[in-house]
Structure 1
């Protein structure tokens, strides 16, 4: 009888320990996004940043980089104004690619396609896209997506797979980082992450002194372009929902206040296309 009681006590003890371990793991994994949303993140930021750096180096090696001085100056002017609001060191590269696309990667990397530069009318519209993409990075959306793979025992493999983007696992890893169409895989952000990046990006560009009202025109132009013969990669990898423009209109008054504060502080970007 005493043996049975001891076994039962041991099971209860083990169960309690497992519960404590699980609770601690969940607490460690809990994070909060810039908008106040609770996130479950397992991957070390250092590993995700390393993946971003490696993926960006691969893209620079495999894709032609623009040497057009005017294009590079325009993109760097806009990107630098936005990233100053975030802090840290960022590398900005313009890729010779006629698709309408841009992206930002963990580790401080920003890529803009020349096709997007042909679409935007001014600095403010480009700031909408770059702010949106930087929003994904500072909200740790790549980490959030990669963390989902840790539970399937793919975490370490994904980190290593970035070095081989042509492999199936490499395509998955790069897709989870926020890019990947160049390598044959499209892994869209969730609607929640897209909405969050819209909000963060709109506020970010306004705090840098850009005009947030241009976000409406930019997304209208993107939607119009998607109806034509040329595919809009930015919309294929970043789903555009019917509520997006309306959500931006709702957020606009707050963003315009940020713009007024930026102007009062002397932040008036003058980036010439």
Structure 2
């Protein structure tokens, strides 16, 4: 590539980054190339695919329990994040996981309910996952993938037509595999930010934020101590998460003590 062309490309990418730069709820700089309406469309399509490919739980009590927790959390999600009717599905799968997608979609795997042993711990996971949506982490990762992983052709499509041809790009950006079976981890930065947003969100909803610490103790025990060293993992280690959550507990408890409701989803 000639120097002039390289210089022009660099200028174009810098211009894109400047125009699309925003700030996350915790004050971190972000690059968001996609309109939120398009991310919502991606989330709806991905969720539809998951419902077609993963068994859905048919246990009424289990579904009502998860829906009750979700309803309490959703009340405290800003309407600018999503102002429609949220859809909550319990997937009959052994994964110790849950997820939330742009477009008002929440999925919880039954395996998680074996480790998150009460409504507060389930709320901690759900608040964390909704935190990813509030902070637009899916948009951020899709945008980064478009710029770094696919080159200027995809970037031009994004800017001119708001289209991305690669389903893999979209799915990995949303934190899912193209097979719809496995939830992919976000970066350590995203995970830590979602923890911070999530513990505040669950506390505002009337769930005890102290249980978020116990949840990660349960998760660590369930893994049998097999988690990778933090340097090699995209997730913070359980111990790091526990320490980070404990450092935010004073603030979270203020929200909890001021919460207007105390959900009783286990009744």
TM-score, normalised with respect to structure 2:
0.81
The answer to whether 1:268 aligns with 2:243 is no
For residues 240 and 52 of structure 2, what CA distance do their matches in structure 1 show? Answer: 38
Quick check: 2:97–2:112 contact (8 Å CA) kept in 1?
yes
Larger C-alpha radius of gyration, 1 or 2? 1
Query: Offset of 1:125 from its aligned partner?
Result: 0.3
Matches within 5 A, 1:244-255: 244-255=241-252
Instruction: Identify the residue that residue 89 of structure 2 maps to in structure 1.
Output: 93
Matches within 5 A, 1:114-125: 114-125=110-121
Instruction: Identify the residue that residue 69 of structure 1 maps to in structure 2.
Output: 60
Quick check: 1:104–1:178 contact (8 Å CA) kept in 2?
no
Report the count of equivalent residues: 242
Per-residue deviation, residues 102-121 of structure 1 (Å, max 9, x unmatched): 01111110000111112222
The answer to whether 1:107 aligns with 2:103 is yes
Structure 1 residues 35 and 243, CA gap change in structure 2 (3 angstroms): same
* Range moving further from structure 2, 81-90 or 238-247: 238-247
SS at match of 1:200: helix
Per-residue deviation, residues 50-83 of structure 1 (Å, max 9, x unmatched): 1111000000011111121101100011011111
The answer to whether 1:60 aligns with 2:51 is yes
Instruction: Identify the residue that residue 3 of structure 1 maps to in structure 2.
Output: none
For residues 73 and 203 of structure 1, what CA distance do their matches in structure 2 show? Answer: 24
SS at match of 2:100: strand
Question: Which of 140, 144, 157 in structure 2 is aligned with 1:144?
Answer: 140
5+ residue gaps in structure 2?
228-232
For residues 71 and 218 of structure 2, what CA distance do their matches in structure 1 show? Answer: 24
Structure 1 residues 260 and 110, CA gap change in structure 2 (3 angstroms): same
5+ residue gaps in structure 1?
1-10, 163-168, 232-236
Structure 1 residues 224 and 137, CA gap change in structure 2 (3 angstroms): same
For residues 112 and 182 of structure 1, what CA distance do their matches in structure 2 show? Answer: 17
More helix by share: 1
SS at match of 1:104: strand
Query: Offset of 1:254 from its aligned partner?
Result: 0.3
Instruction: Identify the residue that residue 38 of structure 2 maps to in structure 1.
Output: 47
Instruction: Identify the residue that residue 177 of structure 2 maps to in structure 1.
Output: 180
Instruction: Identify the residue that residue 186 of structure 2 maps to in structure 1.
Output: 189
For residues 184 and 104 of structure 1, what CA distance do their matches in structure 2 show? Answer: 14
Per-residue deviation, residues 140-189 of structure 1 (Å, max 9, x unmatched): 00100000122224465984444xxxxxx3xx432220122855777421
For residues 181 and 126 of structure 2, what CA distance do their matches in structure 1 show? Answer: 23
Query: Offset of 1:27 from its aligned partner?
Result: 3.2
Q: RMSD between aligned alpha carbons?
A: 2.8
Quick check: 1:47–1:159 contact (8 Å CA) kept in 2?
no
For residues 137 and 245 of structure 1, what CA distance do their matches in structure 2 show? Answer: 22
* Range moving further from structure 2, 138-147 or 219-228: 219-228
Query: Offset of 1:40 from its aligned partner?
Result: 1.2
Instruction: Identify the residue that residue 126 of structure 1 maps to in structure 2.
Output: 122
